[in-house]
């Protein structure tokens, strides 16, 4: 912690000397924004779609890990405001402290899981940048379906993540966005959830629905296994670190 404060302090001196450009207060629409997000596959995909639509730089930190080098990269971009996507378990509060120390405004957008975070981000966009969602392409997909998430990454669209028990808020946000056409991506992994959501969309929203399938390759299956293994490994490291609260590690194991 002391080393971190020294690091941030040195960066502050550089700001005062003019070596790093200072930020300035402006109107909300004129703010220089950047996004800070963890490498959680769902949050990252969501952040990338938001970044693409607003032409924002994205900084990625490992899930649950504070890295002062990420702070340095953010400072180098000299933003007026940082949008933190994901909860404190994913993006540690140390980053908030760094931004406070440097006088940079930040807003954390998050929920209790990837599904709630997804909804919160869309609500934030609706409130602050509604024009971004005008006639936007919306893709509905299971929030843990790696194949579907990969397909979303190559689309110019915003995702709405669902699960078999995660459809209420999702249906409500779709109604708020006033979509006229929805694409549902399914794989064998997510077929039950996507079929449930499709029926609900057709009944309650009465919009055009297109169904697409994402092929599950051996590479994707292996990547899914690697993601789970990496999360378990990180959780073990967190458990061995006395400075880390146990619930964060337990949550990571559940996410694996």
pLDDT in tens, 56-110: 999 999 999 999 999 999 999 999 999 999 999 999 999 999 999 999 999 999 9
What is the C-alpha separation between 189 and 119, in angstroms, rounded?
A: 22
What is the C-alpha separation between 94 and 67, in angstroms, rounded?
A: 9
**Secondary structure (DSSP) of the chain:** -HHHHHHHHHHHHHHHHTSSPPP----GGG--EEEEEES-HHHHHHHHHHHHHHT-EEEEE-TT---HHHHHHHHHH--SEEEEES-TTTS-THHHHHHHHTT-EEEEE--SSHHHHHHHHHHHHHHH-GGGGTT--EEEEETT-HHHHHHHHTSSSEEEEEBTTB-HHHHHHHHHHT-SEEEEEE-TTTHHHHHHHHHHHHHHT--EEEEEE----HHHHHHHHHHHHHHHHHHHHHHH-TTS-HHHHHHHHHH-
Mean pLDDT of the region 185-204: 94
In this prediction the pTM is 0.80
What is the C-alpha separation between 116 and 162, in angstroms, rounded?
A: 10
pLDDT at 206: 87
Residue 124 lies in a domain: yes
Confidence of residue 212 (pLDDT cuts 50, 70, 90): very high
What is the C-alpha separation between 47 and 7, in angstroms, rounded?
A: 27
For residue 220, pLDDT over 70 is answered with no
What is the C-alpha separation between 177 and 171, in angstroms, rounded?
A: 10
Q: Which residue has the higher pLDDT, 236 or 212?
A: 212
pLDDT in tens, 108-142: 999 999 999 999 999 999 999 999 999 899 999 99
- Residue where a domain stops, chosen among 116, 132, 148: 132
Q: What CATH number should be reported for the domain holding residue 45?
A: 3.40.50.12090
- Residue where a domain stops, chosen among 89, 113, 132: 132
The mean predicted confidence, pLDDT, of the chain is 83
pLDDT at 248: 52
Residue 137 lies in a domain: no
Would strands 81-85 and 105-109 be described as parallel, antiparallel, or unpaired? parallel
pLDDT in tens, 16-44: 344 444 443 334 557 899 999 999 999 99
What is the C-alpha separation between 107 and 10, in angstroms, rounded?
A: 24
pLDDT at 112: 95
Residue 37 lies in a domain: yes
pLDDT at 256: 46
For residue 249, pLDDT over 70 is answered with no
Domain of residue 93, residue span: 32-132
pLDDT in tens, 3-23: 555 555 555 544 434 444 444
176, HSE (Cβ side, Cα atoms, 13 Å) = 16
Domain count, the chain: 2
pLDDT at 208: 93
pLDDT at 13: 47
Residue 184 lies in a domain: no
Residue 166 lies in a domain: no
Residue 163 lies in a domain: no
pLDDT in tens, 138-177: 999 999 998 999 999 999 999 999 999 999 999 999 999 9
From residue 130, alpha-carbon distances to 60, 78, 126 in Å are 25, 25, 4
Give yes or no for a contact between 184 and 212, defined as CB atoms under 8 angstroms apart: yes
pLDDT at 8: 56
Residue 225 lies in a domain: yes
What is the C-alpha separation between 47 and 191, in angstroms, rounded?
A: 25
pLDDT at 219: 61
Residue 209 lies in a domain: no
252, HSE (Cβ side, Cα atoms, 13 Å) = 29
- Residue where a domain stops, chosen among 89, 110, 132: 132
């Amino acid at each position: 912690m002391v080393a971190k404060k020294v690091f941030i302090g040195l960066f502050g001196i550089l700001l005062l000397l003019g070596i790093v450009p200072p930020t300035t207060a402006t109107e909300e629409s004129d703010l220089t924004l950047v996004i800070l997000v963890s490498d959680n596959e769902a949050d990252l995909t969501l952040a990338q779609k938001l970044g693409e639509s607003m032409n924002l730089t994205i900084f990625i930190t490992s899930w649950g890990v504070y890295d002062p080098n990420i702070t340095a990269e953010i400072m180098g971009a000299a933003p007026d405001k940082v949008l933190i996507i994901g909860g404190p378990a994913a993006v540690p509060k140390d980053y908030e402290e760094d931004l406070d120390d440097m006088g940079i405004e930040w807003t954390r957008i998050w929920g209790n899981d990837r599904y709630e975070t997804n909804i919160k981000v869309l609500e934030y966009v609706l409130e602050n940048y509604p024009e971004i969602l005008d006639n936007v392409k919306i893709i509905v997909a299971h929030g843990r379906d790696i194949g579907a998430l990969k397909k979303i990454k190559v689309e110019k669209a915003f995702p709405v993540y669902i699960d078999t028990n995660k459809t209420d808020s999702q249906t409500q946000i779709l109604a708020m966005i006033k979509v006229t056409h929805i694409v549902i991506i399914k794989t064998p992994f997510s077929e039950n959830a996507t079929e449930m959501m499709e029926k609900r969309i057709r009944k309650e929203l009465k919009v055009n629905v297109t169904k697409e399938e994402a092929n599950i390759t051996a590479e994707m299956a292996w990547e899914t296994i690697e993601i789970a293994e990496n999360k378990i490994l990180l959780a073990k490291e967190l458990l061995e670190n006395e400075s880390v609260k146990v619930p964060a590690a337990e949550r990571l194991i559940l996410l694996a």
